Amino acid sequence: MNLRIAVAALLVAGPAAAQAYQPSPENLQSRQWFQDAKLGLFIHWGISSQLEDGEWVMNNRNIRVADYERIAPLWNPVKFDARAWALTAKNAGMRYITLITKHHDGFALWDSRVSDFDVVDRTPYGKDIVKQLAEACREQGLKLFLYHSQLDWRHPDYFPRGGTGRESGRPESGDFNRYLDYMDAQLTELLTNYGPIGGIWFDGMWDKPDAEWRLAKTYGMIHKLQPAALVGSNHHKLPFPGEDFQMFERDLPGANSAGFNTTEIGTLPLETAETMNDSWGYRINDRAWKTPRALVHEAVEAAGRNANFLLNVGPMPNGEFPAEAMNILAELGKWTGVFGESVYGTRGGPIAPRPWGVTTQKGDRIYLHLLNWPDRVLGLGPVAGKVTKAWRLDDKAPVTFKAVADGLALSLPARSGDPVDEVIVLELSPARP
């Protein structure tokens, strides 16, 4: 390693430099946009999809690199239609897409110049996936975030090995800094050749938590190439300096049902990433599909906790979304079509999550999301500000309210059936200047 670079890296990575991260104005603006956007579509796709057994198949079945590479020539996703993906996302109410560019298997979904292990050089399909989706997103007014795995089960310089990818048949040697140079080069490609990028969604650092990942260097490079791009990393810890949002894998912020999430919530914008069934990448026999209702509930629960909801789809090897996923996205679209104003542009509301549901707020409007409330009366604690009007969002039916004890008692209009979410709007008298 070049001594000058090493010293520079140490300086950049040092605590003083770390505290010095000052997000640019464009970056701060992006964070606002991100929090307003609320809903995103996560897409897990790659040559791993060809085996229809989830994106961890290489590691789980101890497939060696040499054997895994045989999958690439088999992958020919002739039904892939970037515009259809973007349109499906938009119609579901998604405001951004987060696409796998390289997962742990190291396969690049774009035409990389620093590796031939990519879709253009190794598959009969031969076209740049990232490029097509970047264009389609631009057309549809969606932002594109790029998932990039720091962990790499194929690259020989990903050494010393971490907790996974140990059966890949690679020699027990390698230069980790050379791997990081390679990663930075690939990130540079992604951040220069595909127009404005919403952000970089890192994953895999947990594989070697104690390694020197040169985060400051990589993050600095990203912020320099695209100051508005947000950096986030799925390391399950409080964000490190240089990161712009905090993500939670398959958990609401503060929860840890997954077993590996932190329950600490930092001050950055938040995002919950969730699967539609039990897998991220397509798995032919994963039948554990969640109901549209359960997923809408989780999206609303996330919004009530001031977090975005990044809902994943694992397209099939041919490039189509599974029918179950299409149905979920269609149902989500019906919900956002009617109830969108109660999530987009909102922040977590003034009342913390309650047994009956959550609240969001935008300006003078508080949205009560009754996710679990069969009764037609509802008691609330004190509401800061004076409630002047209350109604149900979808049918504008008036809601009466009465000051009781130290709070407010609402009498709700009758409802038929058991709606996915009953949204009550409380309008406050405008704050005095």
Cα 339 to Cα 332, 333, 360, 372, 383, distances in angstroms:
10, 10, 12, 17, 22
* Interaction of residue 25 with another protein, rule CB under 8 A: no
CA 238 from chain center: how many Å? Answer: 16
Position among 381, 386, 388, 398 found at the interface with another protein (CB under 8 A):
381
CB of 404 to another protein, least distance (A): 4
Encoding tokens for residue 209? Answer: 């938590």
Q: Of the listed pieces 170-178, 180-188, 199-207, 354-362, which binds another protein according to CB under 8 A? A: 354-362
3-state secondary structure at position 295:
helix
Nearer Cβ to another protein (163/381): 381
Look at residues 108, 185, 199, 112 and name the one whose alpha carbon lies nearest to residue 152.
108
Nearer Cβ to another protein (129/368): 368
Nearer Cβ to another protein (122/354): 354
Subset of 147-186 contacting another protein (CB under 8 A): none
3-state secondary structure at position 128:
coil
Position among 122, 354, 369, 392 found at the interface with another protein (CB under 8 A):
354
Q: Is the CB of residue 100 less than 8 Å from the CB of residue 147?
A: yes
Position among 80, 85, 147, 356 found at the interface with another protein (CB under 8 A):
356
Cα 110 to Cα 47, 126, 136, 139, distances in angstroms:
12, 10, 15, 19
Q: Which pairing describes strands 96-102 and 39-43: parallel, antiparallel, or unpaired?
A: parallel
Distance (Å, rounded) from C-alpha 105 to C-alpha 123? 15
CB of 369 to another protein, least distance (A): 13
Size of the site for another protein (CB under 8 A): 26
CB of 372 to another protein, least distance (A): 5
Nearer Cβ to another protein (169/379): 379
Supply angle C-alpha 297, 298, 300, rounded to 5: 65
Subset of 361-380 contacting another protein (CB under 8 A): 372-380
CB of 94 to another protein, least distance (A): 30
Nearer Cβ to another protein (211/409): 409
8 Ramachandran zone, left/alpha/beta (phi>0; psi -120 to 50): alpha
Q: Is the CB of residue 109 less than 8 Å from the CB of residue 186?
A: no
Look at residues 271, 280, 147, 273 and name the one whose alpha carbon lies nearest to residue 202.
147
DSSP state of 402: E
Nearer Cβ to another protein (229/296): 296
Do you find a cis peptide bond into 227, omega within 30 degrees of 0? no
Specify the DSSP element, H or E, that contains 40: strand 39-43
CB of 49 to another protein, least distance (A): 38
Nearer Cβ to another protein (295/412): 412
CB of 403 to another protein, least distance (A): 9
3-state secondary structure at position 385:
coil
Q: Where are the beta strands (DSSP E) in 304-430?
A: 307-313, 347-348, 357-362, 365-370, 377-380, 387-392, 400-404, 407-411, 422-428
CB of 272 to another protein, least distance (A): 22
Nearer Cβ to another protein (318/400): 400
Nearer Cβ to another protein (61/402): 402
Nearer Cβ to another protein (160/379): 379
Subset of 394-433 contacting another protein (CB under 8 A): 400, 402, 404-412
CB of 430 to another protein, least distance (A): 25
CB of 118 to another protein, least distance (A): 49
CB of 261 to another protein, least distance (A): 22
Distance (Å, rounded) from C-alpha 135 to C-alpha 195? 9
Per-residue mark of binding to another protein, 205-244 (x: CB under 8 A): ----------------------------------------
Q: Which pairing describes strands 365-370 and 422-428: parallel, antiparallel, or unpaired?
A: antiparallel
Applying CB under 8 A, which residues contact another protein?
A: 352, 354-356, 372-382, 400, 402, 404-412
